[in-house]
């Protein structure tokens, strides 16, 4: 892999993603990794990421100097650029003059910026700057606040930039990163969906051996792709479990039962516990209370389904040792990145599971980013309705009804939501919209007029947002025509709804969901 050394700021993961967009496999390692630990990962190049403002700051993170003796291609970014300059004998000055944000950069040559405009904008965020490049390095770009904005030593396969090529505000950043990887470091782009899928299938086969596995499907992309990979690896020794809690959107259960099964050939057990959920949710209006009830019941449902599967399997003398989960790389990095297989214990002995039952986890996606998961899903032949699906919360439509949940209200919301999704897809907006909660304000009524009569119905809120990771979001500037169509259809086709409103709040301050 290309190893991205994390100096503790938020950039390392994004850089790793960008390296993979250049079709080269990458992983994040903490800056505390020793040269020996780094070498043990068989890296093909090192990228030093951004970090705190100054290499002179108290407790400024550093790396094992031995890393510079490994003879690997190396690329420094921002703080990593300064760490590299200092370690190789250049000069980093504590200037106190900061550069922050969009900055014009003058390019004077070199391999990194070949073919790019001589002057172009880059995204800066630094206090100190490099004043002299190390010996053997050519200075190839400058800005007003950074006399050395980029340097390279192509013979030594090393280069660095003061700016952030990984952010979209540096319009040529991806090209520069790709040029480093392919031209300077000489790496072959080979991280493709087909290769990824093959490698993951092999790895699952090796881990599970002759064992049996179970996988909970949520209807979302991650669990579907994880299950599809494991299915390819071990066939019918995988059983998938799908819980219908009655809070799903229109067509979702069918998508899993028909399209997922048809495209993967997986064995599926559906468990319909919707009456139970609606019973417990009756009269509950507090969002966290709703979540608590659904979370608690979901574990019961899942365990009930698992014990059914286990019962059937044990009759034929088999045991199930593995639980498949759709954990992604960002979760792995955020939780400390520990390798190996965790064991989870199955609590709440409701479905008749033995108290001490333990599964080993199979997490085939634990090294992938979301876009890679989608690409692998397509490679495995999963339908677009599954791989292109927008994020949908586990508690489902229950947290999109402001007020108590009832069957009737769910039907109303389901109908409105289906119309909004249909029209957004028809208008080709699925890629531009990260997700679009459709919310029923069940305890609000407003006066309207329809046909000849006065109505007194409920409002529906459209909440289309654009986002990269759901941590922050902006409201999507959806075309008026699409909004008009959605509004028209919902008020005409959905009984009890006489008003459609648009949420124009970013996150923060608003969250994406209303509850």
Binding residues for ATP: 218-224
> DSSP letters of 4-64?
EEE-SSS-HHHHHHHHHHTT--EEEEETT--HHHHHHT--SEEEE---SS-TTSTT-----
Nearer Cβ to ligand XMP (371/481): 371
158 vs 512 by CB, closer to ligand XMP: 512
* Residue 111 or 470 with smaller CB distance to ligand XMP: 470
Residue 513 Cβ, how far from ligand XMP at the closest point, in Å? 3
The answer to whether residue 292 forms part of the interface with ligand XMP (CB under 6 A) is no
Smallest gap from residue 432 Cβ to ligand XMP (A): 16
- Contact string 241-280 vs ligand XMP (x = CB under 6 A): ----------------------------------------
Q: Does 474 bind ligand XMP (CB under 6 A)?
A: no
**Structure tokens, 463:** 């909440």
Per CB under 6 A, 291 contacts ligand XMP: yes
Residues 61-90 that bind ligand XMP (CB under 6 A): none
Tally of CB atoms within 10 A around 291: 16
If binding is defined by CB under 6 A, does position 220 make contact with ligand XMP?
A: no
**CA nearest to 218, candidates 242, 182, 246:** 242
* In the complex, least distance from residue 329 CB atom to ligand XMP, rounded to whole angstroms: 17
Question: How far is the C-alpha of 257 from the C-alpha of 227, rounded, in Å?
Answer: 14
Residue 222 CA to residue 401 CA, distance in Å, equals: 25
Residue written as token pair 């609606």: 278
Instruction: Give the DSSP letter of residue 397.
Output: G
Q: Does 511 bind ligand XMP (CB under 6 A)?
A: yes
Output 198 or 371, the one with its CB closest to ligand XMP.
Answer: 371
Encode 156-185 in three state secondary structure. CCEEEECCCCCCCCCCCHHHHHHHHHHHHC
Nearer to ligand XMP, 163 or 369 (CB): 369
DSSP state of 444: -
In the bound complex, what is the minimum distance in angstroms from residue 413's beta carbon to ligand XMP?
15
Please give the Cα distance from 242 to 249 (Å, whole number).
14
Q: Is the Cβ of residue 253 or residue 389 nearer to ligand XMP in the bound state?
A: 389
Q: Which position among 99, 152, 166, 297 bears the catalytic label?
A: 166
Residues annotated within a binding site: 218-224
Selected from 394, 429, 455, 466, the binder of ligand XMP by CB under 6 A is 394
Out of 120, 271, 445, 507, the residue judged to bind ligand XMP by CB under 6 A? 507
Q: Which two tokens stand for residue 93?
A: 């000055």
Q: Does 435 bind ligand XMP (CB under 6 A)?
A: yes
Residue 406 or 511: which CB sits closer to ligand XMP? 511
Given a contact cutoff of 8 angstroms between Cβ atoms, the answer to whether 276 and 297 are in contact is yes
Q: Which is nearer to ligand XMP, 112 or 398 (CB)?
A: 398
Least gap, CB of 463 to ligand XMP (angstroms): 9
Range in contact with ligand XMP (rule: CB under 6 A) among 225-233, 240-248, 300-308, 387-395: 387-395
Which one of the spans 42-50, 227-235, 249-257, 392-400 is the region binding ligand XMP (CB under 6 A)?
392-400
Question: What SS3 state is found at 146?
Answer: coil
Looking at residue 425, the DSSP 8-state letter turns out to be H
CA distance 313 to 319: 6
The Cα 222–Cα 212 span in angstroms is 20
Q: Is 135 one of the annotated active-site residues of the chain?
A: no
Count Cβ atoms below 10 Å from residue 45 Cβ, excluding itself.
23
Which one is catalytic: 31, 113, 126, 164? 164
Q: Which one of residues 391, 404, 411, 429 is an interface residue with ligand XMP (CB under 6 A)?
A: 391
Give the range of 33-41, 82-90, 335-343, 506-514 binding ligand XMP by CB under 6 A: 506-514
Interatomic CA distance for residues 23 and 190, integer angstroms:
6
Q: Which of 51, 216, 395, 464 binds ligand XMP (CB under 6 A)?
A: 395
* Residue 284 near residue 214, CB atoms below 8 Å: no
Greatest C-alpha distance within the chain: 84
* Closest distance to ligand XMP from the beta carbon of 83 (Å): 34
Q: How many residues interact with ligand XMP (rule CB under 6 A)?
A: 11
In contact, 123 and 164? CB cutoff 8 Å: yes
347 is catalytic: no
| Contact status: 287 vs ligand XMP (CB under 6 A) | no
Sign of CA dihedral 3, 330, 369, 366: positive
Query: What's the min distance (Å) between Cβ of 288 and ligand XMP?
Result: 9
Q: How far is the CB of 270 from ligand XMP (least distance, A)?
A: 20
Rounded Cα distance between 513 and 499, Å, is 19
**The only residue of 377, 393, 457, 459 in contact with ligand XMP, by rule CB under 6 A:** 393
Distance separating alpha carbons of residues 406 and 279, to the nearest angstrom: 9
Which of 81, 185, 95 minimizes the C-alpha distance to 134?
Answer: 81
* Contact set with ligand XMP (CB under 6 A): 291, 391, 393-395, 435, 470, 507, 511-513
The set of catalytic residues is 78, 164, 166
């Amino acid at each position: 892999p290309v190893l991205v050394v994390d100096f503790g700021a938020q950039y390392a993961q994004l850089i790793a993603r960008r390296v993979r967009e250049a079709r080269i496999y990458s992983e994040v390692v903490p800056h505390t990794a020793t040269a020996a630990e780094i070498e043990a990962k068989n890296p093909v190049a090192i990228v030093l990421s951004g970090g705190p403002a100054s290499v002179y700051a108290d407790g400024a993170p550093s790396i094992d100097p031995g890393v510079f003796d490994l003879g690997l291609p190396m690329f420094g970014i921002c703080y990593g650029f300064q760490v590299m300059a200092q370690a190789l004998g250049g000069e980093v000055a504590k200037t106190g003059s900061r550069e922050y944000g969009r900055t014009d950069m003058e390019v004077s040559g070199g391999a990194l910026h070949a073919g790019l405009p001589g002057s172009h904008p880059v995204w800066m965020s630094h206090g100190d700057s490099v004043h002299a490049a190390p010996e053997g390095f050519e200075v190839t770009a400058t800005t007003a606040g950074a006399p050395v904005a980029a340097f390279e030593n192509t013979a030594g396969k090393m280069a660095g930039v003061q700016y952030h090529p990984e952010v979209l505000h540096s319009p040529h950043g991806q090209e520069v990163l790709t040029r480093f990887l392919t031209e300077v470091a000489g790496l072959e782009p080979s991280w493709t969906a087909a290769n990824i899928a093959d490698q993951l299938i092999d790895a699952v086969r090796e881990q599970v051996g002759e064992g049996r596995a179970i996988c909970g499907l949520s209807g979302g992309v991650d669990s579907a792709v994880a299950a599809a990979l494991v299915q390819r690896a071990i066939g019918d020794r995988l059983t998938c479990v799908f819980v219908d809690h009655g809070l799903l959107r229109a067509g979702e259960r069918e998508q899993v039962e028909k399209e997922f099964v048809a495209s993967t050939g997986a064995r599926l057990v559906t468990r319909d516990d919707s009456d139970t959920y609606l019973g417990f949710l009756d009269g509950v209006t507090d969002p966290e209370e709703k979540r608590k009830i659904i979370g608690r019941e979901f574990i019961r449902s899942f365990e009930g389904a698992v014990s059914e599967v286990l019962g059937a399997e044990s009759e034929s003398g088999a045991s199930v040792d593995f639980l498949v989960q759709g954990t992604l790389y960002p979760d792995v990095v955020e939780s400390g990145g520990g390798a190996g297989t965790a064991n989870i214990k199955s609590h709440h002995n409701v479905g008749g599971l033995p108290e001490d039952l333990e599964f080993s986890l199979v997490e085939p996606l634990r090294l992938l980013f979301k876009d890679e998961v989608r690409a692998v899903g397509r490679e495995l032949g999963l339908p677009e309705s599954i791989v292109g699906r927008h994020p949908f919360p586990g508690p489902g439509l229950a947290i999109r009804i402001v007020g108590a949940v009832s069957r009737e209200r769910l039907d109303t919301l389901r109908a409105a939501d289906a119309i909004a999704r249909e029209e957004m897809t028809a208008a080709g907006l699925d890629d531009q919209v990260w997700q679009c909660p459709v919310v029923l304000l069940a305890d609000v009524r407003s006066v309207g007029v329809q046909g000849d009569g006065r109505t007194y119905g409920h409002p529906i809120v459209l909440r289309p947002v654009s986002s990269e990771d759901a941590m922050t979001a902006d409201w999507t500037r959806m075309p008026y025509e699409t909004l008009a169509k959605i509004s028209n259809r919902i008020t005409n086709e959905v009984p009890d709804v006489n008003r459609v409103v648009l949420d124009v709040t970013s996150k923060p301050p608003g969250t994406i969901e209303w509850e």
